[in-house]
Amino acid sequence: MTAKFRIFTAAMLFAGLAAVAEVPVYLDESKPLEERVQDALSRMTTAEKIGIIHAQSKFSAPGVQRLGIPGIWCTDGPHGIRPDVLWDEWEQAGATNDSCVAFPALTCLAATWNPEMSALYGRSIGEEARYRNKDVLLGPGVNINRTPLNGRNFEYMGEDPYLTSQMVAPYIKGVQENGVAACVKHYALNNQELDRDHVNVLVDDRTLHEIYLPGFKAAVVDGGAWSIMPGYNKYDGEHACENPVLLLDILKGDWGFDGVAISDWGAVHNTEKVAPNGLDMEFGSWTNGLNWGASNAYDDYYLAKPYEKLLLEGKLPMSDLDDKAARVLRLIMRTSMNRNKPYGSLNSDEHYAAARKIGGEGIVLLKNEGSLLPVAPDVKKILVVGENAIKMMTVGGGSSSLKVQRELLPLDGIRELASGRGVEVLYERGYVGDVTGEYNGVITGQDLKDPRTAEQLIADAARAAAEADMVIFIGGLNKSDNQDAEGADRKDFALPYNQDAVIEALVAANPKTVVVNLTGNAYSMPWVDSVPAIVQGWYIGSEAGHALADVLFGDVNPSGKLPITFAKSLADYAPHAKADPAMYPGVDGDVHYKEGLDIGYRYTDKLKPGRVNFAFGHGLSYTNFELGKVSLSGDGLGEKGGYTVTVPVSNIGRRKGAEVVQVYVRDLKSSVVRPYKELKAFSKVELAPGQTKAVKLPLDKQAFAFYNPDTKLWTVEPGKFEILVGTSSDNIAARIPVNITEPLTWSDSVR
């Protein structure tokens, strides 16, 4: 009997007895949520409470059958709904109705700099999860990109806490309007995959609160996330799933989180530590968490029989169990027990359109000398080169690997659009990278083997390039181990598979060469000065071919902006500047964040301005924009005050397009070391040719504050500040002085 059917029959039973007894409060959805939760909790036995706080299968937890309370089904994300696996194994269940739409990776979403795209993304993926009867979507990820070597950066939203905070909340609201919980991950400081199960992060409190926590706080406070996932790593000596500072003091204390803290799969290690320190549900332990142990070992989980034994012996308080069970009941009533949620939809035309729109808006035009792009009308023969033009990118990379209904490859998208314009498109491989096409039982069916040597591949590509009107190279990274993938970090900053040599040979053969790289990370560009046009494409999902072709041919005017800094070398990123293994990858299990606040542009814009290929926030268009005279209004900060920056933006080109106005704040004199500048507001504005709009960007007290670790208060000091307005972190068009006259302090608590 299914959980849904149990709810229905239980409701009918109680309704039928209404003449002699009232319907239990927990079944009456007209009653306040907290009243229902407490009523259900009061009817449960200790064993039933224990039962609902740990898994019963790889991706589900039981409800309370006796009371007609359904369980919870989780699904991996955050880019699409993962195919089903067997009850107690990682192998595929073999279903034929669990294919999905793959949405762009979250780096691509962040590159839109558009919260409306985030809302569309969340709503669309939430509808797919709801249709598949999933209750918890394991995503989005909001860990900060500390190092470009992190194999999981493609799942996150870039290097800046403010950008991440603004993009995550709409995603969560969109998912949860479908009656599906977003599970924000990986809380917190999961900034490398290397030794992720054991690495202990040592970071000062100010850096923790200013850089690594704001995205999670926004997810909880602004997005109203119903669940959150502590990661594998340790913070200050304690695993994230067993860390009282992260889970009790900050998450449930300061932020007032009323949802469920769900362990990453196999991230729990000790009953006596995990039980009292804030984790609510345990998944995936199966002895070691991932790949070995006794089958159906769920009763042996740390929050199962071992926990119950300590409770019954009086060694742990029942109040902790009641809090966990109440939180899980609250989650159940918001999701699987919610009979008023929408039905959802799967693989709809609207979802493919959303994936295409988000992908097109997230693609970043990095360079376009001589207006090589969009493809000119007189171009009649295009040579496409590169493995990533023909390789499926939705399979692989770890838990975000998907089984898609369809995936349009870049080469096919280009050919489709070119065919209607009388353009011939030829293809050469150029290099051979990863020819495999399988992950966790999902098989692409592609045969990417090529018997030619590396030298022959380059020679053949160069020969064909010389005969083409233009060349489009499509390369980058992929979802293989030690590239953009869960469980391992990249081994170096360069593009793999000798791609630099391929690019240099193509440019030598044909100066009209466009480089398009699909990655979730930054990389070195030794050819940056010789290549006239460069496009950052990310992992775009099911509609990759359409989205890329739309931009290359000009059907979509690019408006993406980088959410990460593209420095020239690995040593130009603060964690790697001193080649100190204590900073990365760690020594004796400890990783010291000695760089503090100097992450991404906060470091490069101040100390390495000449060592950046493309700055944070950079992105070009096929039209031109001009910022007018910037003005500042407002009477100061005060308790509820603030300033408004007004920026006239004009489209002085010939195409409709969108520009992102970015506002940074700089503290000119402070009692503590402040970053050179910090993003504190942005707005994307779309303009027709000749059109001007006045963009208004508010700045509240948080825009001028730093976190004081001694007082544990956010602090604004009196003094001189600068408001910097531009279109990227290194392209500042206006500077406005501001004098703050009164000090301000406030707590991080939202209670």
Which residues are the active-site residues?
264
How far is the C-alpha of 139 from the C-alpha of 171, rounded, in Å? Answer: 10
Q: What angle, 0 to 180 degrees and rounded to 10, lies between the N-to-C axes of helices 318-334 and 305-312? A: 140
How far is the C-alpha of 694 from the C-alpha of 665, rounded, in Å? Answer: 20
How far is the C-alpha of 475 from the C-alpha of 430, rounded, in Å? Answer: 9
Hey, what's the torsion of the CAs at 38, 42, 43, 44, to 10 degrees? 100
Beta bridge partners, 181, equal: 136
Alpha helices (runs of H) in 595-681, residue ranges in sequence order: 601-607
Per DSSP bridges, beta strands 657-667 and 678-687 are antiparallel
Give me 587's structure tokens.
């020594």
Nearest to 559 by CA among 541, 543, 571, 547: 547
How far is the C-alpha of 745 from the C-alpha of 180, rounded, in Å? Answer: 37
Give me 661's structure tokens.
């106005």
How far is the C-alpha of 603 from the C-alpha of 592, rounded, in Å? Answer: 17
Helix (H, G, I), strand (E, B) or coil at 341: coil
Per DSSP bridges, beta strands 136-138 and 181-187 are parallel
Please say whether the beta carbons of 229 and 138 come within 8 A. Answer: yes
Number of neighbours of residue 233 by Cβ within 10 angstroms = 27
Nearest to 78 by CA among 129, 41, 35: 129
Please say whether the beta carbons of 403 and 99 come within 8 A. Answer: yes
How far is the C-alpha of 731 from the C-alpha of 724, rounded, in Å? Answer: 10
DSSP notation for 499-511? HHHHHHHHHHH-S
The torsion angles phi and psi of 262, rounded to 5 degrees, stand at -105, 125
How far is the C-alpha of 121 from the C-alpha of 358, rounded, in Å? Answer: 8
How far is the C-alpha of 40 from the C-alpha of 80, rounded, in Å? Answer: 33
Residue 567 exposed, middle or buried by CB count within 10 Å (0-12, 13-18, 19+): buried
673: CB partners within 8 A, 6+ apart: 596, 597
Please say whether the beta carbons of 346 and 100 come within 8 A. Answer: yes
Nearest to 532 by CA among 518, 515, 519: 515
How far is the C-alpha of 568 from the C-alpha of 564, rounded, in Å? Answer: 13
Length, in residues, of the chain: 751
Q: Which DSSP category does 101 fall into?
A: P
Distances (CA, A) of 653 to 139, 366, 550, 626, 697: 39, 18, 19, 10, 24
Give me 329's structure tokens.
């009941």
DSSP notation for 158-207? -S-HHHHHHHHHHHHHHHHTTT-EEEEEEETT----TTTTT-EEE--HHH
Give me 673's structure tokens.
């070391």
Which region holds residue 611: left if phi is over 0, alpha if psi is between -120 and 50, else beta?
Answer: alpha
CA 682 to chain centre: 19
**Radius of gyration in angstroms for the set of CA atoms belonging to the chain, rounded to a whole number:** 26
